[in-house]
Amino acid sequence: MKTSDSISVKYRKDYKPSAFLINKVSLNFELFDDYAIVTARMMLQANPAAESSGALVLDGEELELQGIEVAGQKLVQEQYEVDSEQLTIWLNKIDGLDYQQASFELVTKVKIYPAQNTSLEGLYLSSEKFCTQCEAEGFRKITYYLDRPDVMSTFTVRIEAEKKKYPHLLSNGNQIEHGSLANGRHYAIWQDPFRKPSYLFALCAGDYDLLEDHFTTRSGREIKLEIYVDKGKLEQCHHAMESLKKSMAWDEEVFGLEYDLDIYMIVAVGDFNMGAMENKGLNIFNTKYVLAHPETATDQDFEDVEAVIAHEYFHNWTGNRVTCRDWFQLSLKEGLTVFRDQQFTADQTDHAVKRIEDVKVIRSHQFAEDAGPMAHPIRPDSYIEMNNFYTVTVYNKGAEVIRMYHTLLGTDGFRRGMDLYFERFDGQAVTCEDFVSAMEDANDYDLIQFRRWYSQAGTPEVTVTSEYDELHKKLTLQIGQACPDTPGQSNKQPFHIPLKLGLLDKDGNDLPLELASNKEQLTGDILHLTEAEQTFEFVGVSHKPVLSLLRNFSAPVRLFYDYNDQELAFLYAHDKDSFNRWEAGQRLFARVIWQLCAEQEAGEPMQFPLHLVNAVQNLLSDESLDGRFKALALTLPDIKALIEEVERVNLDHLIAAHDFLKRELAKQLEMDWLVHYQANHHVGAFKQDKAAIAKRAFAGVCLSYLVALDKPKAYELAVSQLVNSNNMTDAETALQLLMHSNYSQKEQIADDFYRKWQNEELVVNKWLSAQATDPTDSTIERVKGLIEHPAFDIKNPNKVRSVVGAFAGSNLPQFHRNDGKGYVFLAEQIKQLYSVNPQTAARLTGAFNRWKKFDDERQRLMCEQLQGILQLPDLSKDVYEIASKALG
């Protein structure tokens, strides 16, 4: 078992500039099937901004040191020391070296074993291709280095390997030379003119198919675009290429940002821990976010590919040109880049739909993280393993914080802030504070209180009460805010919360907004909450309005306001703010679900409230609404998000209530679902324009209600959609619905689907997760079978996520079985995985984080598994941090 003294906690407050800088580095990679030799030649210099020291301490892990030279002298044993994490060179023991005055050269040679590297961090060989992943601290598994983002250097990289097996040899920047060598080997040399931290280094070597294109920047520069994929996958790359070109044009148009190198390469790999990586000029992507063809990828997959391509492309400015000083500042690049990709996707698709999708992630995942044992501010104060901090808080709440600047400063003000940010910090490694000050200075806007969003964890709770004074036409809002304690933080200070609102008259029109006093507390339709308790008096309110609060989810908070059913139904039908229209529906459904839970608690039968029928029917038949919006507005709230609404949950009751409501809505509106399904489900030539996508989404939700009827006729519709579909959107929807139902032939369906798609890995993953998320009782045995299936591979993170991740994260009824078998299954998988791939194992461990929400028996069962995990021999830091914090 890990003891607390064998692990170390890193603190943000301990930041010190590096004692040395690296001005230039040349790397030479000699790649062989079973090992690689890496020679690094670096020009170092004492950092004038740091305390000087006679010891040069380089990071390095899992490296076999073969030689070391400083200023042309081979070092002998007394001059350096190596342990499992560092190489220390005693510069003061090297004759004639004046390291404080002049720069000096260091040459190291190490041997590494990429074929044995299953962590997928550093340099690894998988599916006969070499690939790297260096963020956050993977470069130290390639060579000894100052592996921290504030040490920036120019890189020259020479790669040599067998020509036949590895015809493509790629690294960052421009290729400046290539040629043949003896013994069937060849080499290429790459030079990246931009200084960069080691985490942006990349190397790929293998035999790929290549899609080529080009883009002309608005200043007229010609950029080569290249996408490298596994042989035979070229047909699935066109969407990624189009997405890249759209992203490049969008960043020029919206932010005035042009690409800077002459070539932009993307390599798709099947074994990858995350979505993708923004290495300078050489992005490496999980195949899931590159490959897309209508037959094998859903409309959602297409949107995801476009968004991830955009995200990585946008990092070239927000991340690469301006990078992070240290890893505590991760949200500086990630929150900002997520916000940028969200805006991009909204512009390509639909603003309201995109907003709703993003808020769903916040509510189901980020709120849970913020209320659990891993809660941290978007700029964390400490960590044990940095890889555990690539979180929904840093990324998605980080993006919400950026969105609030946009809300407060407006599009132009936000742009002014961005321009100043680049003007001041281009080419540097900076902090979140630097970003705030740029926004502040460019707009002459006080963001002192706003800064608390960076330092305080937890989800603020905003409580609103209202009173209408008919006589004086006055509306008084009493608004309080509080933020719950989180691990290591209590007594939080009030946040600056922009609360966008509207007051609706009885026709659903917005009434004008005017405050009686303190008029600066309202700008446009944004109310500025800054204190624990505030009173706002609106005047000239002609009659009692319906309140539309927190429009467009203008801040990442929980809003409490005592709406009644009539008001919610009214907003669901009329709010001009599409987000709040959706939100009203979700609240309406949630109220019913909690009511049904209360009925079960009281031992009474569940009663379906008929008032819902009207509300849903009106929405269903509202011709003015987009199909994707309708699909979202007709979907019941996610159980995960509902769990976050209560202190402790009776999961059995909650699931029963959720199922009951779905089935009742299905029954009450059976004809409507059928009519709309038939009107929107399209047979015939495949189209992928906005209208066709919207119809598929809407038809999919209608079908989900029909299948909930548990009737042969409905199953027939789903089966027919599955077998006759010419696109994966329709096929996957039908597959999932059938697999999650009581349909008697579902085994057959699963077998046929597999037989058809067994050679398309990404489709097989859909097949795996459709089974792993089946809420019926047989699933526990089925998932045990799936991990033995030839299609499963514990070394491939996409497979692990498709089976184990999907089961633990998205199959609440079965993961939380009351016999504890779901928990045992997850713990078993973590035990198999933690030494193979610590990062992915740690992510899985997070599924236990919310154990305190459940009943005593489930709590006990989950804790038992967490304790077992903590007893594992040589437990990785990654898993240790999650499991130990979960147990608190």
Just list the catalytic residues.
312
Please name the residue that has the structure tokens 């490694």: 429
CB 745, CB 254: distance < 8 Å = no
* Residue 236 binding: pick among Zn ion, ligand 0A1, none (C-beta 5-8 Å cut-off by kind): none
> Least CB distance from residue 312 to Zn ion, whole Å?
7
Please name the residue that has the structure tokens 């020391």: 81
C-alpha closest to that of 657 among 596, 595, 591: 596
> Least CB distance from residue 141 to ligand 0A1, whole Å?
12
Q: Exposed/middle/buried for 9, CB within 10 Å: 0-12, 13-18, 19+? A: exposed
* Residue 588 binding: pick among ligand 0A1, Zn ion, none (C-beta 5-8 Å cut-off by kind): none
Cβ distance to ligand 0A1 smaller for residue 429 or 692: 429
Query: Rounded to whole angstroms, how far apart are CA atoms 503 and 547?
Result: 5
> Least CB distance from residue 138 to ligand 0A1, whole Å?
7
Residues 280-319: x where in contact with Zn ion by CB under 5 A, - otherwise, as a string: ----------------------------------------
- What residues have CB less than 8 Å from 855, skipping those under 6 apart? 648, 650, 651
CB 184, CB 165: distance < 8 Å = no
> Least CB distance from residue 316 to ligand 0A1, whole Å?
12
Question: How many Å from the N-terminal Cα to the C-terminal Cα in the chain?
Answer: 16
> Least CB distance from residue 399 to Zn ion, whole Å?
10
Order the strands of the 209-216 sheet from edge to edge: 209-216, 222-229, 263-269, 282-286, 276-277
Tell me the one-letter amino acid at 141.
K
Q: Which of residues 320-339 bind Zn ion (CB under 5 A)?
A: 334, 337
* Residue 500 binding: pick among ligand 0A1, Zn ion, none (C-beta 5-8 Å cut-off by kind): none
> Least CB distance from residue 280 to ligand 0A1, whole Å?
12
Please name the residue that has the structure tokens 């009824």: 813
* Residue 772 binding: pick among Zn ion, ligand 0A1, none (C-beta 5-8 Å cut-off by kind): none
Tell me the one-letter amino acid at 344.
F
* Furthest C-alpha separation in the chain: 95
CB 203, CB 240: distance < 8 Å = no
* Residue 287 binding: pick among Zn ion, ligand 0A1, none (C-beta 5-8 Å cut-off by kind): none
Q: Calculate the CA 691 to chain-centre distance.
A: 28
Cβ distance to ligand 0A1 smaller for residue 142 or 592: 142
Cβ distance to ligand 0A1 smaller for residue 2 or 141: 141
* Residue 133 binding: pick among Zn ion, ligand 0A1, none (C-beta 5-8 Å cut-off by kind): ligand 0A1
C-alpha closest to that of 804 among 535, 818, 834: 834
Query: Rounded to whole angstroms, how far apart are CA atoms 704 and 655?
Result: 17
Binding residues for ligand 0A1 (CB under 6 A) = 133, 135-136, 273-278, 311-312, 334, 387, 390
Q: Which two tokens stand for residue 596?
A: 């049904």
Cβ distance to ligand 0A1 smaller for residue 344 or 450: 344
Q: What residue is closest to ligand 0A1 based on CB?
A: 274
Q: Which two tokens stand for residue 549?
A: 């609060």
> Least CB distance from residue 29 to ligand 0A1, whole Å?
20
Kindly state the number of chain residues that form the binding site for Zn ion, as judged by CB under 5 A. 2
* Residue 403 binding: pick among Zn ion, ligand 0A1, none (C-beta 5-8 Å cut-off by kind): none
Q: How many residues does the chain have?
A: 888
* Residue 271 binding: pick among ligand 0A1, Zn ion, none (C-beta 5-8 Å cut-off by kind): none
- Per the DSSP assignment, residues forming a β-bridge with 74 are 69
> Least CB distance from residue 200 to ligand 0A1, whole Å?
9
Q: Calculate the CA 415 to chain-centre distance.
A: 24
Q: Which of residues 404-433 bind Zn ion (CB under 5 A)?
A: none
Q: Which two tokens stand for residue 284?
A: 């490496």
Cβ distance to Zn ion smaller for residue 337 or 443: 337
Cβ distance to Zn ion smaller for residue 337 or 729: 337
Cβ distance to Zn ion smaller for residue 337 or 393: 337
* Residue 526 binding: pick among Zn ion, ligand 0A1, none (C-beta 5-8 Å cut-off by kind): none
Cβ distance to Zn ion smaller for residue 198 or 337: 337
Cβ distance to ligand 0A1 smaller for residue 99 or 228: 228
Please name the residue that has the structure tokens 């890249």: 244
The DSSP string of 572-633 is: HHH-SSHHHHHHHHHHHHHHHHHHHHHHHHTTPPP---THHHHHHHHHHT-TTS-HHHHHHH
> Least CB distance from residue 133 to ligand 0A1, whole Å?
5
C-alpha closest to that of 296 among 685, 751, 796, 762: 762
Q: Which of residues 577-616 bind Zn ion (CB under 5 A)?
A: none
Q: Which two tokens stand for residue 472?
A: 């004086």
User: Which residues form the interface with Zn ion (CB under 5 A)?
Assistant: 334, 337
